[in-house]
Structure formats: structure tokens, C-alpha cells
């Protein structure tokens, strides 16, 4: 903070020697002129790395132990196949995300891990990602939906999809069998089941939203079930009115299950909430398939899920929230040919097989990936996604990151803390949305 | 000035001024300039006048709570934690038994960073797993110390004070050791009781320490960040101006212009306290 120098600079009336002041002022100006551009340039990043034709550098956000081992296995398979070397640079998942802008402008790796959807398009539009449409020509095994998720606003491809993990409502089979619960199909059945669980002494729907993003999944699903996928995407793009009856309907619908939702979600992490499911205290939990991480491997067989229930029959269950993770080539890639060669491998089934063998909580994007070793959850996920008409990417990937982070997280937390203040929350979202989307 | 004077002055001042400008005034000025622009760190910088400030004051729902929390934090440290530290220092200065032990115990939290204090407070105050709810026997109806937006700011201020009290205590203790015993004795001879002696004699002689403590309290209150960020990223009742600056500038959001405007507001608030404080000091020195 700057209070010290503010205190030290003398007030003009107390300074007695103009010549010294002149010296001071002169050097201040000179120093300012010299240092500012220097400082700004220094933000640009470090020295260049060396990249021979045989070496491709790979910026990885796969930092959790299992995840990291899986990524390494996949890249080893490439090294064995091509005889080239991949230099892996792993950064903690959250740090990677936080620093992505500076990373891509500075000294990025040739290939880096990233997410599909708006988040990919954002960096493609800013000219920080390399166009890989030429190698996409030769790809097979990706559905048109996956291709769309890899395409920028200029209709060129920038992304290779690798795996996805669907969001759904998770439960423990043993608990349900013991009490004779049936998976609900409609909203009314869902609420009726929740009410039954409550009278049975369970927490019907566990929820932990301390990190701000887990409850976004519930919002996304209710919006897509109630108002349809197209409206949801248009809303995420900032093109709809948040104060209108449709969005209000989403919160009203959500309110109707809050009585069955675990109390005080804003003070609980998703891991703590998932543990209430693991410990058989909770009946249901809406989350991504990564919830399996909280289960012991031998208990994973007891985990099952059903797709989010139907709210408006017109929309049915045609949309699935299934964020896709994959890879991009940075615009500043030093070994562009090598990067594209690696991307071709990553777009094939072999890379995914090597990865999923180590880390089976995801589902491969490529149609020819080996599904024989899939566990029951993975098989069900394939069914869920291949039967879906629309695939959404999750709120913080379908809208602008600044809107998701600085507006929606506080708004949803405020709603969960005080669900009776919806009108004020929505007015505030709409006002902020106008400022943020106007910045384009 | 002789030419040697000028050279000496230029070199000695030059280095200091250079560092000062490069590391402090340059970035400060850059922040002020950026606060009138819209910039995501990638696209060209676009000047937008005072729109960021309008947005902050009129539509950004987190700003006023954050400003309120910062002032509350300042008031709590200034009116509760700091006097408590002074009280402990006075008690410990009385050469009671085990005084060294109490000193160490109370000073211990000061060696921890506020981020660590944040981690510890989660262990104590977590709704489902925290020690406090167990101790209070509220297993069936646990209090959501950290998740209830009306409650968590107070919990955080108590946790921050845990550390602040020890810090203030040690500063005052050093000051009290330096107070001339004969002053107190002569006050006692004149018939002053203990309270009078403290407020009329001891406290005024602690003036240099008071100034340091005041400055530290203001700085601690306005720069509070790590403790709330560790607990819940400074959301849901724990908004502080420093958190808003961080959230908007760092991270994928990269609303650098908007975040800079918030930083400028925080700077102006700091400046307000510093100017008031400095003008008082200068006036007293004139007398």
C-alpha cells in the first residue's frame, strides 16, 4: 500500500529550498518516464524456452495425483508412438485457470489443456489460440455436437475434445433399495420423493456452495428443463432479460425444493456435501460425475444417478450438462508442426484409452475409444450424452467468465441465503449484466 | 548548494526516488488511469470516462457491503481489539506471576500469518465439523458460523483480533517498560489513584507507541484480505474492498479497469485516514 510515501512527500509550504525541490521534481519525472514502460513490458513474461523439432511442450492443468498420472500415461503413449519428446509443465488446476490470460500472452507451452465452449471461444477471439481447422479435416469419431463445441465464433476449429463428465442427480443404490425409492421422472415425483426422504429422516438433497460454483449446476438444469436449451444459452450470452418471468420462474421452481435442500449450503464445500451422501445421511446430490472421487473405490459400485427430472414436458430431458475438457494450441507455439502432430494423437482413441485407464471418472469423447473397460457409471454417462439433443457446458463455461465469477456466484449465494429476495437479486443481476456485456 | 552537494543529493535521493516512483507511484498512477478505461488485459485499452465509478456506486451490489465491512473491521480493531491489547499489556506490566508465560501465549498468534489464522478458524467454526459447535453441544442445531452472512464477519473479526491483540499488547508492553517509574511514583504521592495515574500520566507518555498502534490498526483493517479469502474467497457476507479488487483484476474475469476503479476508491479511503493523521501530527509539531 502506498500510505508511507504519501506521508513522506512534504507539503509545498514546509519545503524551504527550491533548488532541492527542483532536483526532486526533475528526477521524479525522469524516473517515471523511464520506469513505467519498463514495468509494463516486464508483465509480458519470461525468457523464451528452447523447442527443437523433436520436443513439444505441454501446459497441463491436470494436477490432482490421479489426474496427473493419467495425463502422463497418455502423453507417454504418444512419445512411444512418435519417438518425440513431450515436456510436461503441470500447474495446479485453479492457478492455471486464474493465470490463463497472462500465461497465453507470455511464454505459453505449445499445447495446453483447456475447456470447450465460451471459454475456448473467448481466447480464440482474442487471437491467443492457433487455428487447427486443417487437422480437424482428418478427424473422425467426434459427433457434430462435439465439433460445434470445438468451433470458434469464426467457424474455425481451435479445440480438441478429450473427455466429458455429465451432471446428474446422484444417489446410493443401497440406501434406495433399503427404503424402496424409485428414480423420479418428473418434477412432482422428485418433490414427492424428497418429501418422503425428509419424513424418513434423511437430508433429501445435499448441497455445498461455499465455492460458489456447485449450485450453478442446479440453476442450469432448472433453466434448461423449464425454459429450454436455446433460451438458456441465449440467457448466458447476455441476450435475455434477467428480470423477465422466465428467469423468475427458474428461481421460483428452485425455491420449491429449498425446503428439502440441505440447510446452510453457503458454509459447506461440495466435498463436505458429497460426504453426507457417502455417509448415507443424504438421499440425493446434484453434481458432476467427479463426485465419485469422494467414494472409496470399493463403494463406487453403490453410486448411481438419474437425469435431472422433467419440468416442462415440451423440453423433456433433451439437454444434458456435460462439460468437455480438452486441448488447444497456443498462437505463440514455438513448434507448431509438433503441436499439431500431438493434437492429432490426442484426438484419437488411443490417447483417451491410456488416460481413462488410470482415471475412470470421466468419459471419452472419441467414438472409437475403448468402452469395454467402462464401469457402470461411465456406461450410463455415454447413454445419457449420446441420447441428448443438446449439451451444455456449465454456467461458468457458457457465459463470460467475469459475469459468472463476479455477478452470478454472489447472486446465487444470496438467493440460497435469503430465497425471498428474488426480485432484488434479479434486478441487480440485470443491471450488472448490462455493464459487463457492454464492455465488449 | 555546491556542485558536490548536488551530486551527493542526486545520487542519494535519486536511488530512493527512483525506487519509490517505480514501485509505488508508477503503479498507483497507472491504476488511476486504468480506472477510467475498460480493459480485459488482452484487447486494446478503451477509455470509458467515469462509467466504472458509476457502475460501482450504482449497480455493483457488493461494493457497499464491502465498504461497510472494511469500516466495521476498522471500528472493531480500533475499539475492541486495540484497547484489549492495551489492557493486557498493562496487566502483564504489573509483574504478576507467570507473566512471561502469559506474554508468550498471547503473542503466539502473531507469528502466524492471517491466512493460517483463517485455516485454524475453519477448524473451529465449521458448521458441520467445527470444534465450537461440539463444545457448545449444538450438534442437533449447529450454528453456521462461517456461512451465515450476518454472523461470519463477526467471527472473522474475532479471529483477526486474536492475532491483533497480541501484536498491540507487545508494542504497548515495550512502551510501558520505557515509562519512567518516578513519574508514577510522584503521581501516587500527589494522591492520584491507579486509574488516574494511568490515564493522566502513563498513557500520555505512551504517545509514540499510540501513533504506531493507530497506524498499524488502520493498515490492518484496510488491507484485511487473506483471512476471509481462505475461508470462503471473501463472498457471502465476507466481502471486503481488497477482495473485490482481487476478484475483478486477477483470475479469468480480468475486469482490469473496473478493478482499478475499486483500488482507487480503497486508496482514497486510506489516504483520508493518513491525511487526517499527518495533519494532526504536523500541527502538534508546529506548536
Interface with A, mutate which of B8, B13, B59 (most A CBs under 10 A): B59
Residue B253 has its nearest CB partner, among A210, A263, A401, at A401
Which of the residue ranges A220-229, A286-295, B61-70, B266-275 has the most confident prediction, judged by mean pLDDT?
A220-229
Helix (H, G, I), strand (E, B), or coil: what is residue A58?
Answer: strand
Continuous segment of H or E residues that includes residue A125: helix A118-125
Strands A111-115 and A390-392: unpaired
Domain that holds residue A207: 167-321+400-438
pLDDT tens digits, one per residue of A352-409: 999 988 888 789 988 888 888 888 888 899 888 888 888 899 998 899 888 998 899 9
Query: In terms of domains, do A340 and A297 share one?
Result: no
Number of H helices, E strands in chain B: 16, 2
- Report all structural domains of chain B as residue ranges with CATH numbers, in order of start: 1-33 (no CATH), 35-62+239-287 (no CATH), 66-227 (1.10.3720.10)
A29 vs A55 pLDDT, higher one: A55
CA distance A128 to A143: 26
CA distance A60 to B157: 38
Give the pLDDT band of residue A345 (cuts 50, 70, 90): very high
Helices (H), A304-374: 336-346, 349-358
Residues A257-283 have a mean pLDDT of 93
Residue A85 predicted with pLDDT over 60: yes
Residue A426 predicted with pLDDT over 90: yes
Domain boundary residue, one of A365, A388, A411: A388
Residue A30: its pLDDT value, please? 42
pLDDT tens digits, one per residue of B136-187: 887 778 888 888 888 999 999 999 999 999 999 999 999 998 888 888 888 8
Widest distance between CA atoms in chain A: 91
Query: In terms of domains, do A59 and A110 share one?
Result: yes
What rounded mean pLDDT belongs to chain A? 85
Residue A280 predicted with pLDDT over 60: yes
Phi/psi at A375 (5° precision)? -85, 175
Residue A45 predicted with pLDDT over 70: no
Query: In terms of domains, do A282 and A430 share one?
Result: yes
Residue A435 has its nearest CB partner, among B41, B55, B145, at B55
Residue A422 predicted with pLDDT over 90: yes
The answer to whether position A126 is within a domain reads: yes
pLDDT tens digits, one per residue of A147-203: 888 999 899 999 999 999 999 999 999 999 999 999 999 999 999 999 999 999 999
pLDDT tens digits, one per residue of B179-202: 888 888 888 888 888 888 888 888
Residue ranges of chain B whose pLDDT lies below 50? none
Residue B267 has its nearest CB partner, among A2, A24, A268, at A2
The answer to whether position A429 is within a domain reads: yes
Query: In terms of domains, do A342 and A330 share one?
Result: yes
Interface with A, mutate which of B4, B17, B246, B259 (most A CBs under 10 A): B17
Query: In terms of domains, do A340 and A293 share one?
Result: no
Residue A440: its pLDDT value, please? 55
Provide the number of structural domains found in chain A: 2
The answer to whether position A268 is within a domain reads: yes
Residue A281 predicted with pLDDT over 90: yes
Residue B236: its pLDDT value, please? 85
- Chain B positions touching A1 (Cβ under 8 A) are 219, 222-223, 270
The answer to whether position A394 is within a domain reads: no
Cα radius of gyration rounded to whole Å, chain B: 24
Residue A351: its pLDDT value, please? 93
ipTM exceeding 0.85, yes/no = no
Query: In terms of domains, do A304 and A340 share one?
Result: no
CATH number, domain of A415, equals 3.40.190.10
Among chain B residues, CA nearest to A263:
B144
CA distance B69 to A84: 56
Alpha-carbon torsion (A249, A255, A256, A261), positive or negative: positive
In sequence order, the 6+-apart residues with CB closer than 8 A to the CB of B85 are B164, B165, B166, B167, B168, B169, B171, B172, B213
Interface check B144 vs A, CB under 8 A: yes
Interface check B286 vs A, CB under 8 A: no
Looking at chain A, the whole-number percentage of residues with pLDDT higher than 70 is: 88
The answer to whether position A358 is within a domain reads: yes
Amino acid at each position: 500500500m502506498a500510505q508511507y510515501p504519501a506521508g513522506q512527500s512534504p507539503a509545498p509550504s514546509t519545503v524551504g529550498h527550491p533548488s532541492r525541490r527542483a532536483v526532486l521534481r526533475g528526477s521524479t519525472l525522469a524516473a517515471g518516464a523511464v520506469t513505467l514502460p519498463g514495468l509494463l513490458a516486464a508483465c509480458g513474461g519470461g525468457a523464451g524456452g528452447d523447442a527443437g523439432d523433436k520436443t513439444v511442450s505441454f501446459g497441463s492443468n491436470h494436477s490432482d495425483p490421479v489426474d496427473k498420472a493419467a495425463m502422463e500415461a497418455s502423453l507417454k503413449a504418444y512419445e512411444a508412438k512418435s519417438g518425440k519428446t513431450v515436456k510436461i509443465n503441470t500447474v495446479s488446476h485453479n492457478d492455471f485457470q486464474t493465470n490463463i490470460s497472462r500465461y497465453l500472452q507470455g511464454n505459453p507451452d505449445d499445447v495446453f489443456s483447456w475447456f470447450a465452449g465460451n471459454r475456448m471461444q473467448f481466447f480464440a477471439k482474442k487471437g491467443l489460440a492457433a487455428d487447427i481447422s486443417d487437422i480437424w479435416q482428418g478427424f473422425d469419431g467426434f459427433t457434430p455436437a462435439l465439433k460445434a463445441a470445438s468451433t470458434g465464433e469464426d467457424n474455425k476449429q481451435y479445440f480438441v475434445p478429450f473427455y466429458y463428465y455429465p451432471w446428474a442427480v446422484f444417489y446410493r443404490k443401497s440406501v434406495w433399495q433399503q427404503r424402496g425409492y424409485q428414480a423420479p421422472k418428473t418434477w412432482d415425483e422428485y418433490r414427492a420423493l424428497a418429501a418422503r426422504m425428509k419424513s424418513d429422516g434423511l437430508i433429501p438433497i445435499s448441497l455445498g456452495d461455499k465455492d460458489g460454483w456447485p449450485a450453478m449446476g442446479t440453476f442450469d438444469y432448472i433453466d434448461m428443463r423449464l425454459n429450454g436449451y436455446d433460451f438458456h444459452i441465449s440467457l448466458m450470452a447476455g441476450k435475455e432479460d434477467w428480470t423477465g418471468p422466465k428467469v423468475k420462474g427458474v428461481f421460483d421452481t428452485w425455491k420449491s425444493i429449498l425446503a428439502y435442500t440441505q440447510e446452510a449450503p453457503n458454509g459447506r464445500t461440495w466435498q463436505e456435501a458429497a460426504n453426507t451422501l457417502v455417509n448415507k445421511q443424504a438421499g440425493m446430490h446434484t453434481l458432476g460425475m467427479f463426485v465419485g472421487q469422494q467414494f472409496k473405490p470399493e463403494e463406487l459400485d453403490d453410486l448411481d444417478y438419474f437425469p435431472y427430472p422433467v419440468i416442462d414436458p415440451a423440453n423433456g430431458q433433451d439437454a444434458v450438462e456435460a462439460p468437455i475438457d480438452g486441448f488447444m494450441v497456443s498462437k505463440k507455439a514455438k513448434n507448431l508442426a509438433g503441436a499439431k502432430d500431438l493434437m492429432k494423437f490426442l484426438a484419437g482413441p488411443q490417447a483417451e484409452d491410456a488416460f481413462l485407464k488410470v482415471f475412470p471418472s470421466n468419459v471419452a469423447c472419441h467414438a472409437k475409444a475403448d468402452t469395454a473397460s467402462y464401469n457402470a457409471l461411465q456406461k450410463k454417462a455415454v447413454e445419457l450424452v449420446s441420447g441428448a439433443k443438446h449439451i451444455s457446458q456449465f454456467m461458468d463455461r457458457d457465459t463470460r467468465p467475469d459475469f459468472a465469477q463476479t455477478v452470478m456466484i454472489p447472486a446465487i449465494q444470496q438467493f440460497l441465503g435469503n430465497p425471498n429476495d428474488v426480485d432484488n437479486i434479479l434486478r441487480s443481476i440485470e443491471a450488472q449484466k448490462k455493464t459487463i456485456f457492454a464492455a465488449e | 548548494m555546491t556542485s558536490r552537494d548536488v551530486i551527493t543529493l542526486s545520487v542519494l535521493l535519486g536511488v530512493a526516488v527512483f525506487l519509490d516512483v517505480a514501485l509505488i507511484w508508477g503503479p498507483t498512477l497507472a491504476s488511476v488511469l486504468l480506472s477510467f478505461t475498460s480493459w480485459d488485459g488482452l484487447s486494446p485499452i478503451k477509455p470509458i470516462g467515469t462509467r466504472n465509478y458509476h457502475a460501482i456506486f450504482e449497480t455493483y451490489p457488493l461494493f457497499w457491503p464491502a465498504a461497510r465491512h472494511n469500516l466495521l473491521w476498522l471500528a472493531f480493531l480500533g475499539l475492541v481489539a486495540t484497547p484489549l491489547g492495551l489492557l493486557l499489556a498493562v496487566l502483564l506490566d504489573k509483574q504478576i506471576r507467570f507473566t512471561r508465560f502469559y506474554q508468550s501465549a498471547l503473542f503466539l498468534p502473531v507469528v502466524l500469518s492471517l491466512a493460517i489464522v483463517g485455516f485454524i478458524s475453519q477448524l473451529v467454526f465449521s458448521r458441520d465439523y467445527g470444534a465450537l459447535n461440539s463444545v457448545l453441544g449444538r450438534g442437533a442445531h449447529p450454528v453456521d458460523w462461517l456461512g451465515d452472512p450476518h454472523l461470519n464477519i463477526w467471527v472473522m473479526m474475532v479471529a483477526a483480533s486474536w492475532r491483533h491483540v497480541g501484536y498491540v499488547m507487545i508494542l504497548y508492553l515495550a512502551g510501558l517498560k520505557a515509562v519512567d517509574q518516578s513519574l508514577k511514583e510522584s503521581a501516587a504521592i500527589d494522591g492520584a489513584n491507579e486509574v488516574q495515574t494511568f490515564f493522566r500520566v502513563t498513557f500520555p507518555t505512551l504517545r509514540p507507541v499510540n501513533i504506531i498502534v493507530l497506524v498499524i490498526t488502520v493498515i490492518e483493517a484496510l488491507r484485511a484480505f487473506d483471512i476471509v479469502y481462505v475461508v470462503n474467497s471473501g463472498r457471502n457476507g465476507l466481502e471486503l474492498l481488497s477482495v473485490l479488487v482481487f476478484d475483478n483484476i486477477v483470475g479469468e474475469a480480468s475486469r482490469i479497469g473496473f478493478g482499478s476503479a475499486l483500488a482507487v476508491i480503497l486508496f482514497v479511503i486510506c489516504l483520508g485516514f493518513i491525511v487526517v493523521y499527518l495533519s494532526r501530527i504536523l500541527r502538534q509539531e508546529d506548536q
